[in-house]
Amino acid sequence: AEAAATDSLTDGFHLLIDALKLNGVETIYNVPGIPITDLGRYAQAQGLRVLSFRHEQHAGYAAAAAGFLTKKPGICMTVSAPGFLNGLTALAHATTNCWPMILISGSSEREIVDLQRGDYEEMDQLAIARPHAKAAYRILHAEDIGLGVARAIRASLSGRPGGVYLDVPGALLGQTMDALEGQKSLIKVVEPNPDSVPGAEAISRAVEVLKSAKKPLIILGKGAAYAQCDDKIKELVETLGFPYLPMSMAKGLLPDNHPQCASAARSLALKESDCVFLIGARLNWLLSHGQGKAWGEKGAKKFVQIDIEPIEMDSNQPIAAPLIGDIGSTATALLEAVGSDWKKPSEDWTGAVRSKVKANIEKMAPRLKNNNSPMDYQGSLGVLKELIAENPDVVLVNEGANALDQARSIIDIFKPRKRLDVGTWGIMGIGMGSAIAAAVETGNQVLAIEGDSAFGFCGMEIETVCRYNLPVCIVIMNNNGIYRGDGTNWSGGEDPSTTVFVKGARYDKMMEAFGGVGVNVDNPDALRRAVKDAFASRKPTLINAVIAEDAGKESGNIGNLNPSSVVAQK
Ligand code: ADP
Ligand code: MG
């Protein structure tokens, strides 16, 4: 096939690629098939990196993670109907997490779809995508490709970022037009994520509220990590002198061993604080909506919140001082308003938080040193904690139930955007897509800590890891099941319990099937050696870490979200 447009003529394929390139797109996370197979090939020929996955959901999760890591829309490309639907889960995930992503799906002919005549993979994709995306567009004419791509890029990035769907009917790709006219039709988006600065009144109102607090607390969310103004955030947190709690993906914005970090005293900090300053974090379920026992006395707290999205304010609790703007600009304005004579909160408060942190860390330390075999979560994650501390540039990917909750609290992160996890939805299956994106976008070593159940949702992508020879080390916390591996079938029937898997499964052998390194370990020392080898060699590695099957608890830390039956009994 002819890779470049001829001098006089261009077509939909090339215009789409040119439009993406003009706007700085470098990588496409892809699953080939009709009608986009050649689009991927041409994109590769035009210098884009095109990574093909085994299933669209994971290509999509990779694009979503890339959006979070780079502050540019991650691009996922899929075939029509089923491929599109598979990718749509990831697009909805990106939108829910406020990450920029563009899902480009091929679609079948409008004339046939709209009259429901039954086409190959017929589906009205645009209509289906719209409620799950921040915006959804369809391009029907080659001369509109520049416009469509520009709108998709601006919609994904500006304001609160999110997922955008771009519908590309197969016939569009083959449409031709004059090459020069085509080039002229492309749009390079100017300032797709413009600064947004709160007004002076909003700033001074916020400073007053923060000043009047006796027991203030900062909560940093993944919006703060996404914003890429790490130095400003650090300066703001240190100038104010408040204890802070990082949400899971904000860990490392300031190192987790920072003297103001209150993670190990989370309960005390949430309960006792009288003022909470949210920076790129939402008061959603992950913060129990800012209410309930964990939050102390009802109505006793004042909230200050920085968010780029105006309607986030008052979505759960009244916000006394809303700061609607981007975090970098807002932090800059706040620092100016605060000036050099800022009075930090009293030692009564900060000292109380610090000593609770110290006591809790000391209490935990010996448990992390156990050398039990089979392992428990503490012994195995204690080793991984050491290795991350020694290798702070490693990007940690983490999913599972207990594997997630335990790793989040045990493993310190030291640098911004070095932790990718299940995000706002708490979904399982993001592991391999996130790991691949992290390796591709950062070039750094990746460590994916996966529950055996979570891994099952994305395991086939280890072939992708091996094919692209990515520096990804996967540790499967294998306790033989979902939550735990020791469940029984209460009914007494022959089928195994609904939450147990094949006992003693050897996930490491899957890795060997694709030429990667597979290691089976059942004690912390062996785990340490295997991960060290993986980091040293940067070879695709999967470590099957044998965890006691009675380790962990149902639904990890969120068992309370399970409805319980009154009539049935366990
Ligand atoms: P977490 O789960 O870590 O608490 P959330 O995803 O709930 O974080 O919240 C992130 C918030 O950050 C969202 O409300 C989003 O609108 C906001 N946000 C994203 N980017 C920016 C930015 N550049 N400036 C300000 N707010 C941002
Ligand atoms: Mg398990």
Question: pLDDT 10s per residue in the chain (570 long)?
Answer: 444 545 699 999 999 999 999 999 999 999 999 999 999 999 999 999 999 999 999 999 999 999 999 999 999 999 999 999 999 999 999 999 999 999 999 999 999 999 999 999 999 999 999 999 999 999 999 999 999 999 999 999 999 999 999 999 999 999 999 999 999 999 999 999 999 999 999 999 999 999 999 999 999 999 999 999 999 999 999 999 999 999 999 999 999 999 999 999 999 999 999 999 999 999 999 999 999 999 999 999 999 999 999 999 999 999 999 999 999 999 999 999 998 899 999 999 999 999 999 999 999 999 999 999 999 999 999 999 999 999 999 999 999 999 999 999 999 999 999 999 999 999 999 999 999 999 999 999 999 999 999 999 999 999 999 999 999 999 999 999 999 999 999 999 999 999 999 999 999 999 999 999 999 999 999 999 999 999 999 999 999 999 999 999 988 989 989 998 888 765
Contact predicate 57/432, CB 8 Å:
no
Distance CA 389, CA 393 (A): 9
Contact predicate 503/480, CB 8 Å:
yes
Nearest to 286, CA basis, from 255, 250, 254: 250
pLDDT number for residue 2:
46
Contact predicate 35/16, CB 8 Å:
no
pLDDT number for residue 101:
99
| Element housing 45 (H / E) | helix 37-45
Contact predicate 399/422, CB 8 Å:
yes
Burial of 385 (0-12, 13-18, 19+ CB in 10 A): middle
Contact predicate 72/226, CB 8 Å:
no
Q: Which residue type is seen at 107?
A: S
Q: Which residue out of 157, 160, 236, 284 has the highest number of ligand 1 atoms within 8 Å of its CB and is therefore the one to mutate?
A: 160
Residue 336: other Cβ atoms inside 10 A: 9
Sequence-ordered list of residues with C-beta below 8 angstroms from that of 556, at least 6 positions apart, any chain: 400, 401, 402, 404, 405, 406, 483
Burial of 215 (0-12, 13-18, 19+ CB in 10 A): buried
| Shortest-distance atom of ligand 1 to CA 312 | 14
What do you get for the CA distance between the two ends of the chain, in Å?
Answer: 63
| DSSP class per residue in 491-506 | T--SSPPTTB--TT--
The Å distance, Cα 279 to ligand 1 centre, comes to 7
Contact predicate 23/200, CB 8 Å:
no
Cα 194 → chain centroid: 23
CA 167 to each of CA 112, 192, 438, 456: distance values in angstroms, whole numbers, following the listed order: 16, 21, 27, 30
pLDDT number for residue 1:
40
The Å distance, Cα 406 to ligand 2 centre, comes to 12
pLDDT number for residue 569:
62
Residue 101 bridge partners (DSSP):
74, 163
pLDDT tens, residue by residue, 510-526: 999 999 999 999 999 99
What is the rounded (10 degree) CA torsion for 155, 159, 160, 166?
Answer: 0
The two tokens of residue 386 are 């050491």
| Shortest-distance atom of ligand 1 to CA 219 | 4
Q: Which ligand is nearest to the CA of 546?
A: 2
| Shortest-distance atom of ligand 1 to CA 280 | 12
The Å distance, Cα 396 to ligand 2 centre, comes to 19
Q: Which residues of 407-418 are buried (b: 16+ CB within 10 A; e: fewer)?
A: bbbbbbbbbbbb
Residue 478's SS3 state is strand
Q: List pocket residues of ligand 1, CB cut-off 6 Å.
A: 97-98, 160, 221-223, 226-227, 247, 249-250, 280-282, 284, 286, 306-309, 312, 326-327, 424
| Shortest-distance atom of ligand 1 to CA 247 | 3
CA angle 569, 553, 549 (to 5 degrees): 105
Residue 143's SS3 state is helix
This model of the complex carries an ipTM of 0.97
Q: Which residue out of 230, 307, 309, 313 has the highest number of ligand 1 atoms within 8 Å of its CB and is therefore the one to mutate?
A: 307
Q: Which residue type is seen at 442?
A: T
Give the chain's count of helices (H) and strands (E).
22, 19
pLDDT number for residue 370:
95
| Shortest-distance atom of ligand 1 to CA 326 | 24
| Element housing 342 (H / E) | none
pLDDT number for residue 4:
52
Q: Which residue out of 282, 334, 413 has the highest number of ligand 1 atoms within 8 Å of its CB and is therefore the one to mutate?
A: 282
